[in-house]
Amino acid sequence: MNTSPPFDIIRAADHEAMSQAAVARMVAQLQRKPDSLFILATGGTPERTYQLLAERGRAEPSLCDRLRILKLDEWGGLSMDDPATCEVALRRTLVGPLGIGPDRFAGWQSAPSDIAAECDRIRQWLAEHGPADLCVLGLGLNGHLGFNEPGDHLQPGPHRAELSSESKRHSMLHQARGQPVCGLTLGVGDILQSREILLLVSGAQKAPQLRRLLRPEISPQFPASFLWLHAAVSVCCDEAAYPAI
């Protein structure tokens, strides 16, 4: 049995080089298909990648003028303009600088009055506009993807998630005005239906998680391990996250 990871691993020197390599993948995808749909995570890891993509897009407007974006996840209960939201992060780095309007940027309301209806709305949006051409993910300190948190089971579709203790301590929340009450996230099935997946992993604090991901074991206790079930996953990491043995 072949148990080597089915991932294309790109190991860059540091976070900046990782971001450059990641943006090269995103640009190549847009050159192949200008109206690509990207599902995008937020957090510290992809922030620089998105800034670089915005710089490329501003220098070459035709590159991103048909790009469509779906926000992967959101902190439920924060107001949309809370500085900690994924919404504000994507608007600041990519959506604002590229002037992407609501016809090409979709995603979770952060404080919906009816969460089940909001999950249905996102499910329908994805059924109509998906699957994504590229899903850009970060790796949680507990192995989560989006807010698909470790547990006895994972959910395939858009859902409300209980936040893990790791997520409640996430650095994005340091600037929060309010307290999130839950996570709102696409499910593992939605992620796996993307045509290609780009997982970004940076920093020594992620090295144990990346090492675990490379083991041929799939478990809901380590949600990122479900990426073993996808045939087109690239892992773009830096040397701190993937030290030479």
Give the count of alpha carbons within 13 A of 213, CB side only.
Answer: 31
CB of 229 to ligand GLP, least distance (A): 19
Active-site residue 73, yes or no?
A: yes
Residue 40 near residue 47, CB atoms below 8 Å: no
CB of 69 to ligand GLP, least distance (A): 14
Retrieve residue 105's tokens. Answer: 């940027």
For strand 73-76 and strand 182-185, is the pairing parallel, antiparallel, or unpaired?
antiparallel
Evaluate the CA torsion angle 41, 192, 25, 10 in order and state its sign: positive
Report how far residue 118's alpha carbon sits from residue 93's, in angstroms, rounded to the nearest whole number.
Answer: 25
Active-site residue 148, yes or no?
A: no
Comparing CB distances to ligand GLP, the nearer of 43 and 77 is 43
Comparing CB distances to ligand GLP, the nearer of 140 and 158 is 140
Comparing CB distances to ligand GLP, the nearer of 77 and 138 is 138
Q: Which of 144, 170, 196, 238 is catalytic?
A: 144
Comparing CB distances to ligand GLP, the nearer of 65 and 239 is 239
Report whether the peptide linkage leading into residue 131 is cis, meaning its omega lies within 30 degrees of zero: yes
Instruction: Please report, as ranges, the residues that interact with ligand GLP according to CB under 6 A.
Output: 41-45, 72-73, 138, 140, 146-147, 167, 170-171
Q: Which one-letter amino acid corresponds to residue 148?
A: N
Active-site residue 2, yes or no?
A: no
Report, as residue numbers or ranges, the catalytic residues.
Answer: 73, 142, 144, 149
